[in-house]
Amino acid sequence: MGYVIDTYLEELFDRLGGTGAAGRRALAEVEDHLRSAADEAIARGVEPIEAERTAVDRFGPSSKIAGGFQAVHNGPVALLRQAFVGCWLVAALAFVAIGLSGAIAYAFGRWFGIAFVPGDAIGSTYTLDRCADFIRFHPEAVTCAAAAAAHHFDEVVVTEPPPVCSVPAPWWRCGWHADTRRWEAPGGRRPKAP
Amino acid sequence: MELRGHLDLLLLGALAAVGPAHGYAVITALRERTDDVFDLPEGTVYPALHRLERDGLVVSQWSAEAARRRRVYRLTSVGLAALEVKSAQWEVFATGVQRVVQWAT
């Protein structure tokens, strides 16, 4: 047999995310239909590839068929799960953005000096109390401006990785499990967890 | 011919006529019975069958009689009642259309 039906089934599988067991059943029914139609055509003397192509064409576009199944089987729980996965993705991207900005700031600080990174304008002045705060955080600094720059650098580049990393990791894992529920395949095939 | 709105009636009617059948057999029976009048994408039949099952009009189970596993659908008593209602509605609709067509020609 050719690849046309297999390709179609893979497309349909991708589009049936969120339908769970009903989606697996639908996939099995569709495969039975397509292979039955192709077998009949082959028995009439049609070339196997052409038989598969005709069966798939008569069946209709996978997007339309999957949309029909989604409409039947995607209840409120599935919609809630999709909403959760969407929120999780936005939050995960936010964590990545924060991490990247910190990494870039750290690299700039290494290349151009920490005074390059903080946002205070050149010539900014600080009150004595504020200066004392900066010096308390960075007693090694020789001037108030240097202590302020070091303190601002700390604020931009997160210097305590464990607490920061501990939030995204379970967050990622939690969202991964919710998302991969959409991709459970016949035979238990499932993407590898990170 | 456009089938929108009438697919459920056709599926219930086909299942009532041929008895318990899998999707491919239902489609084949519809095609043969209507001399290919309805050019429906065959795949649209399956979501419709799933919807009918969700609504309790048909029930289904796997059958291993063929070389491949097949999902066989059977009309329920609720489905039979729905078929009668939809058939009556169709009669009214078709009669009305027929009268207008005859009037115009």
The DSSP secondary structure of A14-37, one letter per residue, reads HHTTT-HHHHHHHHHHHHHHHHHH
Looking at residue A189, its pLDDT comes to: 46
Q: Encode pLDDT of B76-100 as tens digits.
A: 999 999 999 999 999 999 999 999 9
Does the pLDDT value for residue B16 go beyond 50?
yes
pLDDT at residue B7 is higher than 80: yes
Asked if residue A148 lies in contact with residue A115, where contact means CB atoms within 8 angstroms, the answer is no
Q: Does pTM surpass 0.80?
A: no
> CB A65 to CB B41 under 8 A?
yes
| Of residues B24, B47, B54, nearest to A33 (C-beta) | B24
- What tokens appear for B30 in the block? 């519809």
Of all residues in chain B, the one with the smallest CA distance to A62 is B43
Partner residue facing A26 (CB), from B22, B46, B70: B46
The Cβ of residue B21 has, within 10 Å, a number of other Cβ atoms equal to 20
- Distance between CA atoms of residues A56 and A42, nearest Å: 14
Cβ–Cβ contact A33 with B under 8 A: yes
The model's confidence at residue A133, banded by pLDDT at 50, 70 and 90, is confident
DSSP string, A78-124: HHHHHHHHHHHHHHHHHHHHHHHHHHHHHHHHHHH-GGGSS-PPTT-
- Burial degree of A172 (CB within 10 A; 0-12, 13-18, 19+): middle
- State residue B35 phi and psi, 5-degree precision: 50, 45
Nearest CA in chain A to B24: A33
ipTM passes above 0.90: no
Nearest to A194 by CA among A167, A176, A168: A176
